[in-house]
Amino acid sequence: MSKESLLELHDLHTHFFTDNGEIPAVNGVSFTLDNGEIVGIVGESGCGKSVTSLSVMQLVPNPPGKIVSGYIKFKGENIVNASPKRMKQIRGNEIGMIFQEPMTSLNPLFTIGNQLIEAIRFHRKLSKKEARQESVDLLKLVGIPRAEAIIDEYPHQLSGGMRQRVMIAMSVSCDPDILIADEPTTALDVTIQAQILDIMRDLNKERDTAILLITHDLGVVAELCDRVIVMYAGEVVEEGSVREILKDPQHPYTKGLIRSLPKLHGEDQKLYSIPGTVPKPGMGNVGCQFAPRCEYAFARCFKEKPELYNVGEKRTSRCFLYDNKEGDAAENAESTFGS
């Protein structure tokens, strides 16, 4: 690649070492995030999307978790084995993060202001007074009314949507290059979710912050993302632009996932459902992870592991149907899918 990406993950393996053996939660994940881009990672629970984001922040609890191979390059610097000191500089300052549960990620014993000021003064040389003013401005930026009063309140006095706004304010306080949002709206109601998504979109436009959005909700992806990475059982199974993924999915898993969503508009049909359940981590089979649930699976899928095949520009699918040798099979699959 000619241009260096803002964030590049290459063949990342994050494993957990438990009493039941080694569990590959993230099993060879590679992707890039460019300046000002919004990339979504989607998948069901246990697919490794959260562990991927924690790996970037070096926040995987160790033990039992460990990045066993691969690299994560942030602006060209490999941060997998960066010193704790260097990581402290990066976290919050250059890469911000928002978590799913805004109640548990704020300290209930300190006021909103205390927590914001702490984060700001850790990375930036500001006096207490300046930091406080900066905090008020940030709270206004994320649409908190009465920011001057809210700053002296405790987290329990705020609603879920307000807490998530405070988290966003905190994570962008040092104007990071990347904002990692791990299920930022899952715990919120739809009307509040719409507000939070709006704020994130504005941040991306106004401050040019790249966003890595981890979610299970394809609707949220359609709202916000430019590019999408679909994960299944610790692996990337498909990558493409949001339009390509949602309108013309290539991997059988993505196809099934989209077809199993109930529609808000249009006629109701019987829902398609992917048979079986997501494999338990560590119970992986030899071949394609999705093969046991896949309606197109053939003998090779159970024996060999498919690689990510190129199916277009910046568009990949981990499925033998797109291996040129199996070209005929792909055509067959297309025709059956149409019916």
Residues binding other proteins (CB under 8 A): 44-45, 145, 159, 161-162, 189-195, 197-198, 216-223, 242-243, 246-247, 256-258, 260-265, 268, 270-275, 277-278
Question: Considering the complex, what minimum distance in angstroms separates the CB of residue 254 from other proteins?
Answer: 11
Question: Considering the complex, what minimum distance in angstroms separates the CB of residue 284 from other proteins?
Answer: 16
Closest CA to 207 of 180, 175, 183, 185: 175
Helix (H) or strand (E) holding 168: helix 160-171
Question: Considering the complex, what minimum distance in angstroms separates the CB of residue 114 from other proteins?
Answer: 23
Q: Which is nearer to other proteins, 95 or 197 (CB)?
A: 197
Q: Which is nearer to other proteins, 58 or 164 (CB)?
A: 164
Q: Which is nearer to other proteins, 91 or 163 (CB)?
A: 163
Q: Which is nearer to other proteins, 69 or 272 (CB)?
A: 272
Beta strands 38-42; 227-232: pairing state: parallel
Strand order in the sheet with 21-33: 21-33, 7-18, 65-74, 77-78
Q: Which is nearer to other proteins, 261 or 286 (CB)?
A: 261
State the Cα–Cα distance between residues 334 and 317, nearest whole angstrom: 15
User: Is residue 102 classed as helix, strand or coil in its secondary structure?
Assistant: coil
Exposure on the CB side of residue 199, measured as CA atoms within 13 A = 26
State the Cα–Cα distance between residues 191 and 194, nearest whole angstrom: 5
Question: Considering the complex, what minimum distance in angstroms separates the CB of residue 197 from other proteins?
Answer: 7
Question: Considering the complex, what minimum distance in angstroms separates the CB of residue 12 from other proteins?
Answer: 23
